[in-house]
């Protein structure tokens, strides 16, 4: 099902979207025929020079593979997974994906409006699951070096699709997490050389500019365009009718019911809303200049109508930041695991502490600014990030946080 950008504009929906993208339910390829291919929907005028176009062709290539769909079902045998990867459509999709990621990649859209469809994002999630499937089979066959190369490709894919909106950013975060999970569960299979290669892959990913600032800046322009479009609809159709075109959002609907009926009065309210939202965005940008653990959540004043409407329309940037920081913590943990395993291969024992490994800032928890938590228990060890803070009463919380960890075998 195509994703509508307007559906993700409100803060609550944006957070729920980020959670659903990372869920374990396999995405189903679109049943659309050739006349409604993703490529044709998204790229009206192909350039032949943009790798994003090949990513779309890759998504189109595998969507009709019955082998792929069957291989996603729980309990499917390893033999069937191998057969699925040998399917002609799957082979072509993987080649197109690889070729596309080897080219410069940019958004195929000149702009994103309030009602822009983003039909490729669920299909891109399906492509990432295809990479995960391939990585699993490679590990099962003992081809660990190829599995590490697959993870590198997946991390590249996760960054490449982050183009116009926070929705694409959240999808990229979910894909990045998924594409390192098989290796995370099979770290004990890595040789000393595999550890060195995977460590370099993690370093490459961490050295890339954080796309979050670019994404939220682009998204903000789209968000404010959406606010202007909502104002127009409220003036022409009335607030209640305008709200019906948005997804279910009880908070926004309740606030829109408070709008005055007179068009001039609506203009005044929305002018105030735009002013407050722009000021809020300026404060968000200032927070983003800080180190992740120094950033504070920002709240809009909801003591009056304009404030409540601004709060209902502004994306929940702190939730988005938490998602970005979480995947960064996972990649740091993976890099540290590689160094720990290399130490164990070299000395046939575990290092007593992270300080003995010369990791520098890699060993810093991006959620706290303190060292990652490393505990040795005989021949085993644990390594974790404290994770983000949560509301009191969360059953998964440890000391008020949701930890991030990578444990072989989990």
- Distances, alpha carbon 384 to alpha carbons 50, 193, 279, 326, 374, in Å: 39, 24, 37, 11, 7
- 255 and 355 fall within a common domain: no
How confident is the model at residue 25, as a pLDDT?
Answer: 29
- Average pLDDT, integer, range 238-257: 78
Residue 299 belongs to a domain: yes
pTM of the model: 0.84
Residue in this structure with the two tokens 């039909």, named with its chain if needed: 119
CA distance from start to end of the chain: 32
In tens, the pLDDT along 108-153 reads 887 776 567 789 999 999 999 999 999 999 999 999 999 999 999 9
Calculate the alpha carbon distances from 362 to 171, 371, 376 in Å.
25, 9, 19
The sheet with strand 401-405 has its strands ordered as 373-377, 380-389, 401-405
Residue 383: enclosing H or E segment and its boundaries? strand 380-389
Residues spanned by the domain of 74 = 3-214
Residue 326 lies inside a defined structural domain of this protein:
no
- Report whether pLDDT(26) > 90: no
Residue 10 pLDDT > 90, yes or no? no
Q: Do 270 and 361 sit in the same domain of this protein?
A: no
pLDDT, tens digit, for every residue of 306-334? 999 999 999 888 889 999 999 999 999 99
Q: Residue 218 class from Cβ within 10 Å (0-12 exposed, 13-18 middle, 19+ buried)?
A: buried
- pLDDT tens per residue across span 276-287: 999 999 999 999
Mark whether 264 and 246 lie in a shared domain. yes
**Do 315 and 380 have their domain in common?**
no
Single residue among 214, 239, 255 that ends a domain in this structure: 214
Asked if 164 and 107 touch (Cβ cutoff 8 Å), the reply is yes
Between CA 224 and CA 235 the distance in angstroms is 17
Categorize the per-residue pLDDT at 363 as very low, low, confident or very high, splitting at 50, 70 and 90: very high
Q: What does DSSP say about strands 3-4 and 117-118: parallel, antiparallel, or unpaired?
A: antiparallel
Q: Which of 214, 233, 265 is the last residue of a domain?
A: 214
What pLDDT is stored for residue 113 in this prediction?
64
User: Do residues 271 and 363 both lie within one domain?
Assistant: no
One domain for residues 45 and 163: yes
- Tell me: do 373 and 293 sit in the same domain: no
Q: Which residue has the tokens 């929906």?
A: 13
Q: Please check whether residues 119 and 139 belong to one and the same domain.
A: yes
- Does a structural domain hold residue 108? yes
- Give the count of domains, the chain: 3
Which of 170, 185, 214 delimits the end of a domain? 214
Are 86 and 103 members of one domain? Answer: yes
């Amino acid at each position: 099902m195509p994703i509508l950008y307007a559906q993700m504009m409100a803060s609550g929906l944006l957070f729920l979207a980020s959670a659903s993208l990372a869920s374990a339910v396999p995405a189903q390829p679109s049943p659309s025929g050739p006349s409604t291919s993703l490529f044709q929907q998204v790229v009206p005028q192909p350039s032949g020079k943009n790798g994003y176009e090949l990513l779309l062709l890759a998504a189109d290539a595998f969507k009709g593979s019955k082998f792929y769909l069957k291989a996603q079902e729980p309990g499917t045998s390893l033999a069937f997974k191998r057969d699925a990867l040998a399917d002609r459509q799957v082979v072509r999709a993987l080649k197109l994906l690889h070729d596309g990621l080897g080219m410069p990649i940019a958004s195929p859209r000149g702009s994103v409006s309030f009602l822009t469809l983003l039909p490729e994002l669920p299909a891109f999630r399906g492509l990432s699951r295809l990479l995960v499937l391939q990585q699993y089979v490679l590990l099962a066959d003992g081809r660990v070096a190829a599995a590490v190369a697959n993870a590198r490709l997946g991390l590249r894919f996760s960054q490449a699709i982050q183009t116009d909106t926070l929705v694409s950013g959240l999808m990229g975060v979910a894909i990045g997490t998924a594409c390192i999970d098989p290796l995370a569960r099979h770290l004990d299979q890595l040789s000393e050389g595999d550890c060195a290669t995977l460590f370099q892959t993690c370093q490459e990913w961490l050295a890339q500019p954080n796309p979050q600032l670019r994404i939220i800046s682009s998204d903000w322009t789209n968000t404010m365009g959406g606010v202007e479009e909502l104002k127009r609809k409220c003036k022409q159709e009335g607030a209640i009718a305008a709200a019906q075109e948005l997804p279910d959002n009880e908070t926004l609907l309740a606030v829109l019911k408070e709008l005055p009926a007179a068009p001039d009065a609506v203009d005044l309210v929305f002018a105030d809303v735009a002013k407050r939202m722009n000021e809020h965005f300026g404060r968000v940008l200032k927070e983003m200049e800080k180190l992740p653990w120094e950033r504070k959540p920002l709240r809009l004043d909801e003591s009056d109508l304009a404030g409540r409407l601004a709060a209902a329309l502004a994306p929940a940037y702190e939730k988005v930041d938490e998602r970005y920081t979480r995947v960064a913590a996972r990649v740091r943990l993976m890099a540290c695991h590689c160094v720990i395993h290399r130490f164990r291969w070299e000395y046939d024992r575990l290092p007593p502490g992270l300080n003995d490994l010369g990791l520098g800032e890699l060993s810093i928890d991006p959620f706290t600014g303190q060292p990652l938590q490393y505990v040795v228990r005989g021949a085993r060890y644990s390594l974790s990030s404290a994770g983000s803070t949560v509301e009191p009463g969360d059953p998964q919380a440890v000391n008020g946080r949701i930890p991030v960890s990578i444990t072989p075998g989990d």
